[in-house]
Chain A
Amino acid sequence: MNESVIHTEGLSRWFDKKQAVAEIVLDVPRGAIFGFLGQNGAGKTTTIRMLMGHLHPSGGAVEIFGRDPRWLSRADRQRVAYVSENMNLPRWIRPNEALALNASLYPNWDAVRARDLMNRFGLEDAGPFATFSKGQKRALCLVLALCTGAELLILDEPASGLDTAARRIFLDALLESNREKECTVFLSSHMLTDLERVVDRVAILKAGRKILDGELEELKDCARVLHLPASARRETVERHFRVASFRKAAEDVRATILDFNEDRLRALCAEDPAYGCVEMRGLNLEDLFVELVTGDLIETGGSVV
């Protein structure tokens, strides 16, 4: 169960003099739904292209099923399905032809499920690919990936262009693949409110570096915003907590911390009576993401949780 389907070690990539990805360590356990988050330009797509073997790392190593993705056998390739950020099919291809093509490429192709999903997305009677809307194109590419029977799905911004109803269909299908077929999923997305329900682990990228990695439910369990008196100092708080951001407002200071527990809070309060009345609140995934990417947390090598 703890076997890693995706493993990277010090993964880096330079484009000319710009470092797009810097020493990323990732471990995606079998059966996980792993959310790969970051702002535009944080290095998500570059990382994903290296995972797929489409781009060579400038440094470090990638393994998919324990092997270098550039040298996967045909049989191992059939264990992975990928939807890139701007995936396109030939203009003339019709949905049935696209499905038939994938059925011939993937030995575990699930034709029954493909028909069902085409139906749910309302794509059964669609014409050639060129006549599709952006959302329909996306939906068809997702159906093609979801029905391959692959053990690993790598999806770059899968939900972009999908409307609310289509996103729901897609997420339910994703959970179904994970639940019924133990499919491992690695996906990047900006739709944090969608991700919050389906992912069990997240990694957050900022300027090419991984700044946080862990189980989502544990992160939420331990992340808090503390409202501190205006006199609060970062060093004091850092003696007790791991601080993701520290913002001075007009009347108080708001510190986002990642490892809350009551004993630590008591110890902080005991240090200075000014901390005696600390208000606090929890963070959902979106709050946490914003605090992390706009804060100044220093990256970590491994997992926090």
Chain B
Amino acid sequence: MRVHIDYNSSEPIYRQAVEQIKLMVVSGQLREGDRIPSIRELARELAINPTTAAKVYTELEHAGVLTLRQGQGAFIRKNPSLVAPKAVRKIVADQAQRMIVEGLRLGLDGGTIQGIVGEELGRIAKGRS
């Protein structure tokens, strides 16, 4: 697992790591059952504060991306089964709404926003195959 952190970005370190690991899961680089580094290993590898590394795992566990097994480490879960399918739709719709509002507010039109979504989907799907 290769995570790249820009330490001096305005984006918090934990959030950069969370987004990259989520992307690795949806693009198939990480699969269900894969063991990923422990909090301490991640802190060492990225040379970051252990509290920050712990935050990465709390976020991912909360999002249903991984499970922490005592003494064994962290493992990727396949589907976030904690969430009902209906709720999943709502989560994604809420995110989409936020993105669309932001895009329109900054002056993009609907077609352009749709185009961007298509391109990003294509990029992720390419990593997946």
Identify the A interface with B (CB < 8 A): 31-33, 171-172, 175, 178-179, 193, 196-200, 216-218, 220-221, 223, 262, 276-279, 281-287
Q: What residues of chain B lie closer than 8 Å to A193, measured between beta carbons?
A: 7-8
Partner of A179, one of B8, B10, B44: B44
DSSP class of A's interface residues: helix, strand, loop or mixed? helix
* Complex interface: stretch among B19-27, B45-53, B68-76, B84-92: B45-53
Q: How far is the CA of A193 from the CA of B13 in the complex (A)?
A: 13
Q: Pick the 8 closest A-B CB pairs, nearest first.
A: A282-B10, A200-B51, A217-B12, A197-B7, A220-B12, A200-B49, A284-B10, A284-B8
Closest residue of chain A to B6 (Cβ to Cβ) is A284
Q: What residues of chain A lie closer than 8 Å to B82, measured between beta carbons?
A: none
Q: What residues of chain A lie closer than 8 Å to B44, measured between beta carbons?
A: 175, 179
Q: How far is the CB of B31 from chain A (nearest CB, A)?
A: 28
Number of interface residues, chain B, beta carbon within 8 A: 23
Cβ contact within 8 Å between B15 and A32: no
Q: How far is the CA of A223 from the CA of B11 in the complex (A)?
A: 10
Partner of B11, one of A277, A282, A285: A282
Q: With A33-B49, A200-B52 as known contacts, state yes or no: A220 contacts B105, CB within 8 Å.
A: no
A-B contact pairs, 14 of them (CB 8 A): A172-B47, A175-B43, A175-B50, A196-B8, A197-B47, A197-B48, A221-B15, A278-B105, A279-B106, A282-B10, A282-B11, A283-B10, A285-B8, A287-B10
Q: How far is the CB of A247 from chain B (nearest CB, A)?
A: 18
Cβ contact within 8 Å between A199 and B49: yes
Q: What residues of chain B lie closer than 8 Å to A262, measured between beta carbons?
A: 98
Q: What residues of chain B lie closer than 8 Å to A220, measured between beta carbons?
A: 10-12
Q: What residues of chain B lie closer than 8 Å to A200, measured between beta carbons?
A: 49, 51-52
Q: How far is the CA of A262 from the CA of B101 in the complex (A)?
A: 11
Q: With A196-B7, A283-B10, A284-B9 as known contacts, state yes or no: A175 contacts B107, CB within 8 Å.
A: no
